[in-house]
């Protein structure tokens, strides 16, 4: 692939790691953010110590507070901002962008209130004459491992297969590989909903339960994620792929996962406000739990793990009692899809 200019919006841990992947592939990368101290550090020291204390980035990776500078002559734009500000940033991009680009996002969540997927938000806010079909970049990935060039395999999903193939070529190298998929609904819901199950898996650990319980919550969590996704129009096979079970495993079993760590702290009795303050990063699983619970109630989808976590977070229920309460749920067949 010839050299491309990529605007990466959001210099968080994942945005920074993806910027490095793109730079490794010979592309011109510009990281945009709104924290002056962070951008200054990226520009002068080529570090992002808020997330990676010992990593020095290639000096060719640019950083800016000016969105117009980041978007100027860009071939592609990658959103890696928290779910709750995606719409706001998309509006800013729509006001600033003056040409058509490939539009991508690598965030995982559902918008509170509207319950919308992130690609839908981008489609709503950015005019069609400024973008192609949206490409979703998602899968089992910890920024802490990608930044040191550990092997990572994820998915590029778009309704436009050619757009997905473009993104596949844009990112893929000898340590970072993408597979294409046209099931945008499945990939986005899998990426968002697995964060809820990761909170549950962490809570079990914090409560002192072992591997049996962990395997149970991950397996049954995948079942309820799939139930909801299929109800929304996803292909069930997507949930057995990288963006489904792959992402669920990596997020539900690793101390790198902020959602797992949040659940672990909840299980140990810490208060949510303290957990969020101490984490210093957005815990997408917390807000996604509320959105998923509301959708499940609206559509009549059986999601006992999501319900238990929702009650613990939003209704003040005891975490242990909420989780153990699932053990007294009605007896069901393992393969029920309602």
Q: Is 231 a catalytic residue?
A: no
pLDDT digits (tens, 9 = 90+) for 263-316: 999 999 998 888 888 877 778 888 999 999 999 999 999 999 999 999 999 998
Q: What letters, b where the CB count within 10 A reaches 16 and e where it falls short, cover 98-135?
A: eeebbbbbbbbbbbeeeebbbbbbbbebbeeebbbbbb
Burial class (CB in 10 A: 0-12, 13-18, 19+), 302: middle
pLDDT digits (tens, 9 = 90+) for 6-50: 999 999 999 999 999 999 999 999 999 999 999 999 999 999 999
Q: State phi, psi for 78 to the nearest 5 degrees.
A: -115, 115
Looking only at the bridges linking them, the beta strands covering 5-9 and 76-79 are parallel
The annotation status of 244 as a binding-site residue, yes or no, is no
The annotation status of 12 as a binding-site residue, yes or no, is yes
Per-residue confidence (pLDDT) for residue 338, from 0 to 100: 59
Query: Which residue from 206, 252, 207 is spatially nearest to 225, judged by alpha carbons?
Result: 252
Q: How far is CA 236 from CA 37, 165, 189, 296, in A?
A: 44, 22, 11, 17
Query: Which three-class secondary structure state does DSSP give residue 334?
Result: coil
The annotation status of 184 as a binding-site residue, yes or no, is no
Q: Which residues face 28 on adjacent strands?
A: 5
Per-residue confidence (pLDDT) for residue 217, from 0 to 100: 93
pLDDT digits (tens, 9 = 90+) for 137-180: 999 999 999 999 999 999 999 999 999 999 999 999 999 999 99
Domains of the chain: 5-182 (3.40.50.720), 192-328 (1.10.1040.10)
The annotation status of 230 as a binding-site residue, yes or no, is no
Per-residue confidence (pLDDT) for residue 278, from 0 to 100: 83
The annotation status of 172 as a binding-site residue, yes or no, is no
- Which of the four pLDDT bands, split at 50, 70 and 90, describes residue 327? confident
User: Which of 53, 84, 91, 194 is the catalytic position?
Assistant: 194
Instruction: Give the separation between CA 312 and CA 319, rounded to whole angstroms.
Output: 5
The annotation status of 108 as a binding-site residue, yes or no, is yes
């Amino acid at each position: 692939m010839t050299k491309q200019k990529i605007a990466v919006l959001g210099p968080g841990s994942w945005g920074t790691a993806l910027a490095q992947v793109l730079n490794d592939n010979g592309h011109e990368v510009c990281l945009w953010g709104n924290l002056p101290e962070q951008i200054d550090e990226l520009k002068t020291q080529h570090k992002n110590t808020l997330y990676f204390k010992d990593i020095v980035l290639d000096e060719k990776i640019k950083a800016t507070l000016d969105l117009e500078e980041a978007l100027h002559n860009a071939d592609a734009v990658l959103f890696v901002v928290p779910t709750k500000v995606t719409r706001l940033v998309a509006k800013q991009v729509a006001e600033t962008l003056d040409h058509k680009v490939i539009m991508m996002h690598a965030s995982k969540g559902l918008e509170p209130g509207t319950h919308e997927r992130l690609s839908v938000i981008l489609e709503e806010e950015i005019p069609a004459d400024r973008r192609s079909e949206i490409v979703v970049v998602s899968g089992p990935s910890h920024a802490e491992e990608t930044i040191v060039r550990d092997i990572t395999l994820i998915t590029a999903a778009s309704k436009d297969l050619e757009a997905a193939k473009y993104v596949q070529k844009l990112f893929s190298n000898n340590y970072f590989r993408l597979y294409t998929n046209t099931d945008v609904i499945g990939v986005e819901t899998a990426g968002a909903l697995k964060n809820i199950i990761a909170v549950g898996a962490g809570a079990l650990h914090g409560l002192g339960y072992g591997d049996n319980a962990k395997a149970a919550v991950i397996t049954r969590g995948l079942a309820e994620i799939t139930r909801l996704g299929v109800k929304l129009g996803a292909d069930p096979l997507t949930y057995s792929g990288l963006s489904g079970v792959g992402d669920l495993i990596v997020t539900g079993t690793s101390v790198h996962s902020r959602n797992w760590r949040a659940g672990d702290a909840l299980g140990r009795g810490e208060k949510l406000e303290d957990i969020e303050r101490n984490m210093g990063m957005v815990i997408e699983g917390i807000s996604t739990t509320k959105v998923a619970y509301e959708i499940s109630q609206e559509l009549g989808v059986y999601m006992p793990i999501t319900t238990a976590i929702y009650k613990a977070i939003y209704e003040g229920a005891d975490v242990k009692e909420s989780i153990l309460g699932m053990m007294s749920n009605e007896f069901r067949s393992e393969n029920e899809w309602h």
